[in-house]
Structure 1
Amino acid sequence: MVNKDPFYLGRLQDYYALHRLIPSYAEIAALVGVSKQGAVKFIDRMIFAGYISKGPGGRLSPANMFFARPHVGVAPAGFASPATEALGDAITIDDYLVENPSSTVLVEVRGDSMIDAGIHHSDFLIVERNTNPNIGKIVVAIVDGDFTIKYLRSDQKGLFLEPANAEYPNIYPESSLDIYGEVVGQFRKF
């Protein structure tokens, strides 16, 4: 007998992505093509596996694992290797990129001053609020009242911000330099 739970879960995840809610048991039954009792059993398995949680009044909601994506292996960016899909653990993007949820924010990039660091216009940066990052880290800074994303550097004059694009100059603060946070990750949609 083939385990159809991954297929059913995928249908439920797609539904959630579209509607931002977990449907009723009857709607789940119709969505995945099982009886209402089959839907109840499927949801019980998903609750046990950590994909779904049941709140007050029996309301279903996604649990942390609901947002996990399968880690299916690695793909060399150099020479090609035989293609095999090695099913690995599932991970959530938060588990991978966010160490401190209460102090982590997303910042959308505008401009190209960090292009040589691989940070492009419209990318999203995962920024951990940290007002004292190490020199050399990429930071979101408030320099003379304006936000910017640059490398944090230091020289004999003190702290300054360095772009990753030769067409932009270093930024030395005229009156103030506050660090909003340290860039710990990024993502973009192709």
Structure 2
Amino acid sequence: MAKKQVSEPLINRIPHHPQNDNVPEAEKMRLFESTGLLQKVKQREAELAKQHTTSTEYLWQAIFMSIPFAFLLGTFDITVKVQFSEPWTYSGLLIKSLKSIPALIPFIYLTNRYKSSNITQTIMATSSVVVGSFLLYTMHHSPSLGQMMRAPGLATIWVYFVVQLNLLPAVISLLISATYWYFGLRKP
């Protein structure tokens, strides 16, 4: 058997010569200005700064965001039904999801449109704590019918709030809900 000859790795074949850039900064700036590239960049930055999202765009965002959250609601509904050995069908999932879309659109429109303001972030964080804690309370203290009726909607709204919140308020609201579960609901 002939031994294979080990060759040098390809990474070592790459030339390691530093690029010599002898062009002074003033000359580079003069070249940028003479070609008009710098003006085009500044013009594009000004266009992007002026661009605002319109009400129609927020409406389309609400419509398209309501579709996955509607199916999430339907999925949570199926999950609760399976948990309590209730019958379910795919058509029931589709109907439940489609029925929830008209209710989700205005809710998503308003919260998505103003989600960057501090007031909205505070309201959504507080609502996230309330909804999450109420969901946990419902899961521990309600009979099965109460859980089947409340849990899918509460879980969907809770997930939506956490998704829309900035990272710090989302983490804080989840920690508060977890603290409520750990110290308030968990059995010793």
TM-score per shorter chain, which class? under 0.3
* TM-score scaled by length of structure 1: 0.23
**TM-score, with structure 2 as normaliser:** 0.23
In our comparison, the structure showing a higher alpha carbon Rg is: 2
